[in-house]
């Protein structure tokens, strides 16, 4: 997996899955994490970790973790 670019666009998208809203964090068009209401973030892409809640979230990228998967 390639490292994320130095400058990139991050968006938060809320999608209804069944009866429950799910929040996704996207870099460009790629979904990197999701979170169900009141839950922790779930990583969808190796190497990415998301913490916090809106309006402030933190995204960390660990290239070693991305390479190991």
**What is the Cα–Cα distance from 10 to 69, expressed in whole angstroms?**
23
Output the six-digit token pair for 37. Answer: 């209401």
Q: In the chain, where are the structural domains located?
A: 10-67
Rounded CA Rg of the chain: 12
- Token output for 6: 């130095």
According to DSSP, the β-strands at 20-27 and 10-17 are antiparallel
User: CB neighbours of 56 closer than 8 A, spacing ≥ 6?
Assistant: none
SS3 3: coil
pLDDT in tens, the chain (69 residues): 566 556 678 899 999 999 999 999 999 889 999 999 889 999 999 999 999 987 889 999 988 887 776
């Amino acid at each position: 997996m390639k490292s994320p670019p130095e400058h990139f666009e991050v968006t938060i998208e809320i999608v209804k899955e069944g009866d429950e809203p799910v929040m996704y964090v996207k870099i460009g068009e790629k979904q990197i994490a999701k979170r169900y209401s009141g839950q922790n973030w779930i990583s969808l892409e190796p190497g990415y970790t998301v913490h916090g809640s809106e309006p402030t979230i933190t995204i960390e990228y660990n290239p070693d973790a991305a390479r190991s998967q």
